[in-house]
Amino acid sequence: MENIKPDSKILLEIVQTKMPFGKYKGTLISDIPVSYLEWLHNKGFPPGKLGMMLGSVYEIKINGLNSILTMVKQSLK
């Protein structure tokens, strides 16, 4: 089995980028509630990098891996 590592640059962007639109405009992408991410997932994530970051946070959260985001945030302090 291949050992896959998360892309640290993307994780850093996820904890530093704010949502540019919608109900959670101005909220860090990493802090968007899973219920909203599920709604976006069902509607379709926006194209491009933003959609990829939102999809990544969705996968992290639904798989119970929030500690990854917490560790990245703590590394920035």
Would 17 be classed as within a structural domain?
yes
Number of domains present in the structure of the chain: 1
Tens-place pLDDT, residues 10-62: 999 999 999 999 999 999 999 999 999 999 999 999 999 999 999 999 999 99
Would 3 be classed as within a structural domain?
no
Q: Which residue has the tokens 């959670």?
A: 24
Would 62 be classed as within a structural domain?
yes
The pair of three-digit structure tokens given for residue 20, joined into one six-digit string: 């540019």
Q: What CA–CA distance (Å, rounded) separates 53 from 48?
A: 9
DSSP state of 7: -
Q: What CA–CA distance (Å, rounded) separates 77 from 74?
A: 5
**Neighbouring-strand partners of residue 22:** none
Domain of residue 19: give its range. Answer: 8-75
Would 43 be classed as within a structural domain?
yes
Q: Is the pLDDT of residue 6 over 90?
A: no
